Chains A and B, each alone.
Chain A
Amino acid sequence: MNQAPTSWGRYPQSHAASIIDAAWTHEIDTNDAASVIAYGLGRSYGDVCLNHDGTVVRMHRCDRILSFDHDTGIVRAEAGLSIADLLRVCVPHGWFIPVTPGTRYVTLGGAVANDIHGKNHHRVGTFGRHVRALTLLRSTGDVLRCAPTENSELFAATIAGMGLTGIVLDVEIALLPIASRRIIQESIKARSLSELVELTDASDAEWDYTVSWIDVMSRGSSLGRGLVLRGRFSEVADATLKAPWKGPLLSIPSEAPGWLLSTPTIKIFNSVWYNKQLARQSRTLIDLEPFFYPLDGIGNWNLLYGRRGMLQYQCVVPNTNGQEVMREILRRMQLGGISSFLAVLKKFGDLPSPGIMSFPRPGLTLTLDIPIGGQRMFDALDDCDRIVHSVGGRVYAAKDARVRGSMFRSMYSDVIDRFRQSLDPAMSSSFWRRIMNDTKETM
């Protein structure tokens, strides 16, 4: 189908000069196009998956599982396979994806290109750590196997390489053994940011999965109040592995009116969400689907943000003074009139990724969905970038649609020159041109 590819934030709008619908990995031919990017399911938020006026190669049909060893949990599959489809096949055999984002509708190629992380980053690091090998198609026509010990520099550049080193054709990963679909989940209320970070530290020590939801609209001493969620797979083997997936319970059919997610409605939502849990602590046994993928229950929820779309802002700042920096960021956002629901706070661990451009660093990471607003909103986010940069932090390309190029280059100045050595000259994206063509100094 020829259509304008979009990213999940539906911002910026983009038009591809040509779209190649890849049916088989061995047939992909970009016809010497000057500017190419591979596109999976369009779940990155900003413009890393877009290529305005360039060529977009849609990869979702290349979704074959090339081998799956039920005993070792090693799976090799084409890059267009979604985590959702992989899980349908591997969960009944007692295997789960070692690192999963908050949606299962991402492709393996996208997981590699953005070196995704999940609620268990403090235990297992990023997705790239679990990639044993991948096959990369370069614009020269070379098909290269890349692994930690083979074409290792290209491997390191391709993990978190934003699709700019070539087209990932297939990926081999090591899965995680599970005995049950059930998750033991605890949810604990935190009345302030410091309490929330304390609870996070305590939880990280004992739980495989931790994440916190924070109410970014709260002020004063309750600034950063929220709920700490922690979980681990039940180790009691049971028959749930064969249980069917539920899929979306409802789907948003079209763009919602702009007022639906505006400051007043978000304020009400956040307050209700925080107060719905009356007890300070609750413990439940829940299925992995609502635990890992609560938003997959609503198809096309991004349409709730209406015609203008949304941004997601994700940054990481070092642990030293991390809380103080977070408070400063939250206050700056409030000052800029930014409202967000489902802001998420997590502490990254110190396991390094093989990916040169990988986003996570040890420290606190904050993620917010933000309805697209006016200049005031963009100015506030620029200020947030400055705060993040001043303490040695950075923002995440997979979420970004607006960071200034010079700022991004400066945040990644320790690695970006090394990364550029491995770029494929024919690969490009709206994101990369935005980053590299910005010559203004904004420090």
Chain B
Amino acid sequence: MRISSIVIIGATSGIAQGVARLYAERGWKIFLVARNADALQAMASDLKSRGASDVGVLIADLCDTTRHGEIVSTASRFSGNIDVVLIAHGVLKNQQEIDNDPNAMLKVFDVNAVSTISLMQRFASALEPQKSGTVAVISSVAGERGRRTLYTYGATKAAVSHFAAGLRARYLPLGINILNIKPGPVDTPMMAGRTQALIAPVSAVARDIVRAIDSRKGVIYTPWFWRHIMTIIKMIPERIFVKINF
């Protein structure tokens, strides 16, 4: 029997680690891409110990889009047929953290939006010949509406969401699913130091993601209740919304 494989971009992020462990328990082949060599090393050992049949790693700065072609080809060589690609890298910045620094603001776009859509497009194209597989990308509930405290981050996630919707319409008929994952706040290192209600454990979010990949969903909210919260938030009329401070 052929061994299934997953490629994880931004592999050392909290959510990506949770998802990777679930695929390790299934005995999959796993290819990890991230910036930090020590972290990749520790994570690769962990996944092998938990049952992954093979783990490959590639150290890369994802903002360097000129290397994206190499990332895709190295991942393909390691994996053979790629069953799942998970794009999980990103930075979280509140508006006040980047307010006085336009470059920092654009950097959030580079990391969260530009590099992400570049990799989504490249991997979708790479999967085309095999006529199967899933490209899953982590956006956010923050991409649903521009909030005064988080609009740059929200806009990057909105860009990814729109891109994913169009990409899915194009590639689904070719056998390739595009999954847009919209988590609420998750208890990861990215959230460290931020107090937040309704914070979800990584393990629950990871389970939701794997289930959505298995059932070839197009969009998921995780935990599930965010779908309903966002439905209400999107319905708030603009003149009232601008007066809400969040």
**Do the two chains belong together in a single complex?**
yes
Q: How many A residues touch B, CB cutoff 8 Å? A: 17
Q: Does B166 contact A (CB under 8 A)?
A: no
- Residues on B with beta carbons closer than 8 Å to the beta carbon of A430: none
Beyond A1-B192, A2-B193, is A25–B42 a contact (Cβ under 8 Å)? yes
Known contacts A21-B189, A26-B38: A65-B195 contact under CB 8 Å:
no
- Interface-side segment among B44-52, B75-83, B105-113, B151-159: B44-52
Whether A23 sits at the interface, judged by CB under 8 Å, is: yes
B169: Cβ under 8 A from any A Cβ: no
Contacts of B187 in A (CB 8 A): 1
Across the interface, B38 reaches (CB within 8 A) one of A24, A67, A75, namely A24
Residues of B in contact, count (CB < 8 Å): 21
B43 within 8 A of A: yes
Q: When chains A and B are docked, how far (Å) is the Cα of A203 from the Cα of B48?
A: 41
Interface residues of A in 58-89 (CB under 8 A from B): 61, 64-68, 75, 77-78, 89
Known contacts A64-B45, A66-B45; decide if A89 and B50 are in contact (CB<8 Å). Answer: yes
A77, B194: Cα distance in complex, Å: 28
Q: Closest B residue to A58 by CB, please name it.
A: B192
- Provide the bound-state CA to CA distance between A10 and B149, in Å: 35
A77 surroundings in chain B (CB, below 8 A): 49
Closest to A66 in B: B45
- Given A21-B189, A66-B45: A2 in contact with B195 (beta carbons within 8 A): yes
Interface centre among B36, B46, B50, B51 (most CB of A within 10 A): B46
Known: A21-B189, A26-B38, A89-B50. Contact between A64 and B195, CB under 8 A?
A: no
**In the assembled complex, which residues on chain B have CB atoms less than 8 Å from the CB atom of A21?**
189, 192-193
* Residues in B lying within 8 Å of A, measured CB to CB: 12, 14, 36, 38-39, 42-43, 45-46, 49-51, 187, 189, 191-196, 199
Q: Could you pull out 24 A-B pairs where Cβ atoms are within 8 angstroms?
A: A1-B187, A1-B192, A2-B193, A2-B195, A21-B193, A23-B14, A23-B192, A24-B39, A25-B42, A26-B39, A26-B42, A64-B42, A64-B46, A65-B45, A65-B46, A66-B42, A66-B46, A66-B49, A67-B49, A68-B49, A75-B49, A77-B49, A78-B42, A89-B51
Which residue numbers of A lie inside 8 Å of B, CB to CB?
Answer: 1-2, 21, 23-26, 61, 64-68, 75, 77-78, 89
